[in-house]
């Protein structure tokens, strides 16, 4: 249906936005482009309807080079939805949708029927909404109209550039669901751009993960999740999913390995030495079967060591969370009281790992910066990971 052959785009200022893109999108398929800001998603999309001209390579639609068609005619047969809907503010909903139908020289009765049909398809009562102006509707309703307008003439291909990006999470989920339902009926060929990995995993038959103008991996959602080709793919999927976690979610994604575990009845002096050597402020006391006996803190281990006691004498049992019933909010509250790591245990008292203030801070930092997903090189990332244990105390 849509084929990219070695397509590159170099803007006039020398920016190489897309670099040798090869991709074949099948009829009826929904392909989602995702990747960090500036990786070339919008440019790839705009080359399909010739809002941007290709610098080298070619794009074929139904086997025909798009440069052989007149750009205006080409665009009329390609639906296009953008984040700001592109609705005309002074035209009513019906007029906005009818506009594209007029371009296709539809007659008035046919336009009337089609507008009603489209509104009903999206669950918007035609009598209520036909005569509204875009400003008198919610963001979600406006965006639905944008989608309907793109589908109005039953185009072969629909391009969507972050169509739900400006909506609140609930409206966004609704519209995603509606798009999936529509797609089940209409089987359009959709090329969809998003920042949101959950959206990509939900809507895409295949996902194209881009980085710096190049394709990092193309695959089904399962392929990307289960067999990421590179550390970048793994991190992109992992970190973005992390940023979606609600405070009421399970703490499991935040659990890190405990960097120092010691056995019960070890002399406190020995434990002290281990802790001071590695610079840890806490250690976990774990028996041979992995059962958690408690946590010890440096200052208290020091006191017991002075009188040659066993580490057990310094043990504290009150600071812990059980995986099954703790939320991220619980962990954050506990860390707000005192920044020491929190041991996490399971139902049979086995130590699963720790939650640290540094781990929660990473989550927060990622949330705050998630409009621009991190582009840190994978090598730098793995370095950070290996330091986690040290950072955590």
Ligand X SMILES: Nc1ncnc2c1ncn2[C@@H]1O[C@H](COP(=O)(O)OP(=O)(O)OP(=O)(O)O)[C@@H](O)[C@H]1O
Among 41, 75, 172, 320, binds ligand X (CB under 6 A): 41
Is residue 8 within the footprint of ligand X (CB under 6 A)?
no
Please, which residue, 235 or 256, has the CB nearer to ligand X? 235
Please, which residue, 15 or 364, has the CB nearer to ligand X? 15
Give the integer Cα–Cα distance in Å for 347 and 350.
7
Chain centroid, CA 227 distance in Å: 17
Is residue 43 within the footprint of Mg ion (CB under 5 A)?
no
Stretch that binds ligand X, among 10-18, 55-63, 269-277, 336-344 (CB under 6 A): 10-18
Partner residues linked to 60 by β-bridges? 3, 65
Is residue 38 within the footprint of ligand X (CB under 6 A)?
yes
Window 149-188: residues binding ligand X (CB under 6 A): none
Instruction: Tell me the CA distances in angstroms from 181 to 159, 174, 188, 247, 302, one per residue in order.
Output: 17, 11, 12, 30, 64
3-state SS, residue 291:
strand
Is residue 13 within the footprint of ligand X (CB under 6 A)?
yes
Q: Out of ligand X, Mg ion, none, which partner does residue 230 contact, by CB within 5 to 8 A per kind?
A: none
Strand ranges in 195-266 using DSSP code E only, listed in sequence order: 206-211, 214-219, 261-262
Please, which residue, 47 or 122, has the CB nearer to ligand X? 47
- Compute the least distance from the CB of residue 83 to Mg ion, in Å: 9
Give the integer Cα–Cα distance in Å for 196 and 201.
9
- Terminus-to-terminus CA distance in the chain, angstroms? 55
- Compute the least distance from the CB of residue 41 to Mg ion, in Å: 5
Task: State the sign of the Cα–Cα–Cα–Cα dihedral 199, 202, 204, 210.
Answer: positive
Is residue 42 within the footprint of ligand X (CB under 6 A)?
yes
Please, which residue, 41 or 144, has the CB nearer to ligand X? 41
Instruction: Tell me the CA distances in angstroms from 162 to 42, 184, 297, 306, 356, one per residue in order.
Output: 9, 20, 49, 63, 35
Please, which residue, 40 or 79, has the CB nearer to ligand X? 40
Q: Out of ligand X, Mg ion, none, which partner does residue 49 contact, by CB within 5 to 8 A per kind?
A: none
Is residue 284 within the footprint of Mg ion (CB under 5 A)?
no
Residues 187-206 as x/- pattern, contact with ligand X by CB under 6 A: --------x-----------
| Structure tokens given for 134 | 């875009």
Please, which residue, 42 or 284, has the CB nearer to Mg ion? 42
Q: Are 218 and 206 in contact (CB under 8 A)?
A: yes
- Compute the least distance from the CB of residue 11 to ligand X, in Å: 3
Is residue 374 within the footprint of ligand X (CB under 6 A)?
no
Q: Are 176 and 164 in contact (CB under 8 A)?
A: yes
Is residue 251 within the footprint of ligand X (CB under 6 A)?
no
| Structure tokens given for 259 | 């960097």
Residue 274, number of CB atoms within 10 A of its CB: 15
Instruction: Tell me the CA distances in angstroms from 257 to 279, 352, 366, one per residue in order.
Output: 16, 7, 21
Partner residues linked to 189 by β-bridges? 157
Stretch that binds ligand X, among 38-46, 125-133, 300-308, 329-337 (CB under 6 A): 38-46
Read off the DSSP letter of residue 67.
G
Stretch that binds Mg ion, among 42-50, 63-71, 132-140, 194-202 (CB under 5 A): 42-50
Q: Which residue has the tokens 């049992």?
A: 317
Q: Please choose, from the candidates 17, 26, 9, the residue with its C-alpha nearest in 3D space to the C-alpha of residue 218.
A: 26
Is residue 42 within the footprint of Mg ion (CB under 5 A)?
yes
Please, which residue, 114 or 195, has the CB nearer to ligand X? 195
Please, which residue, 130 or 211, has the CB nearer to ligand X? 211
Please, which residue, 40 or 343, has the CB nearer to ligand X? 40
Number of shown-chain residues binding Mg ion (CB under 5 A): 1
Please, which residue, 40 or 259, has the CB nearer to ligand X? 40
Stretch that binds Mg ion, among 39-47, 101-109, 131-139, 253-261 (CB under 5 A): 39-47
- Compute the least distance from the CB of residue 207 to ligand X, in Å: 14
Give the integer Cα–Cα distance in Å for 28 and 158.
10
Q: What residues contact residue 146 under an 8 Å CB cut-off, 6+ apart?
A: 81, 82, 85, 86, 87, 163
Among 8, 43, 141, 356, binds ligand X (CB under 6 A): 43
Binding site for ligand X (CB under 6 A): 11, 13, 15, 17, 37-43, 195
Binding site for Mg ion (CB under 5 A): 42
């Amino acid at each position: 249906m849509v084929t990219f052959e070695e397509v590159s785009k170099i803007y006039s200022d020398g920016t190489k936005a897309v670099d040798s893109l090869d991709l074949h999108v099948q009829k009826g398929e929904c392909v989602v482009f995702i990747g960090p800001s500036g990786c070339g998603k919008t440019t790839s999309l705009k080359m399909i309807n010739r809002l941007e001209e290709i610098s080298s390579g070619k794009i074929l639609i139904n086997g025909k080079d798009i440069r052989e068609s007149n750009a205006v005619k080409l665009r009329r047969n390609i639906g296009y939805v953008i984040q700001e809907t592109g609705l005309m503010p002074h035209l009513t909903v019906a007029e906005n949708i009818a506009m594209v139908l007029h371009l296709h020289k539809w007659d008035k009765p046919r336009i009337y029927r089609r507008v009603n049909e489209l509104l009903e398809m999206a669950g918007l009562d035609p009598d209520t909404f036909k005569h509204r102006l875009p400003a008198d509707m919610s963001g979600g309703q406006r965006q639905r109209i944008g989608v309907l307008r793109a589908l109005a003439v039953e185009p072969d291909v629909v391009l969507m550039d972050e169509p739900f990006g400006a909506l609140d999470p609930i409206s966004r989920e609704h519209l995603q669901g509606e798009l999936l339902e529509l797609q089940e009926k209409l089987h359009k060929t959709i090329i969809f751009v998003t920042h949101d990995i959950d959206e990509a995993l939900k809507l895409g038959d295949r996902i194209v993960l881009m980085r710096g103008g190049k394709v990092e991996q193309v695959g089904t959602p399962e392929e990307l999740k289960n067999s990421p080709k590179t550390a970048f793919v793994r991190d992109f999927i992992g970190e973005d999913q992390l940023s979606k976690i609600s405070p009421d979610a399970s703490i499991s994604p935040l659990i890190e390995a405990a960097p120092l575990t010691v056995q019960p009845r070890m002399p406190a002096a020995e434990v002290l030495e281990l802790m001071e050597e590695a610079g840890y402020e806490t250690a976990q006391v774990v028996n041979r079967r992995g059962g958690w006996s408690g946590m010890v803190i440096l200052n208290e281990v020091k006191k017991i060591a002075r009188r040659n006691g066993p580490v057990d004498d310094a043990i504290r049992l009150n600071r812990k969370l059980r995986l099954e019933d703790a939320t991220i909010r619980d962990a954050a509250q506990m860390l707000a009281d005192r920044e020491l790591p929190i041991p996490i245990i399971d139902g049979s008292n086995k130590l699963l790992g720790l939650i640290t203030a540094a781990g929660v801070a990473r989550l927060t930092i990622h949330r705050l910066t998630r409009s621009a997903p991190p582009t840190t090189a994978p090598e730098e990332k793995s370095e950070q990971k290996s330091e986690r244990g040290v950072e955590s105390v």
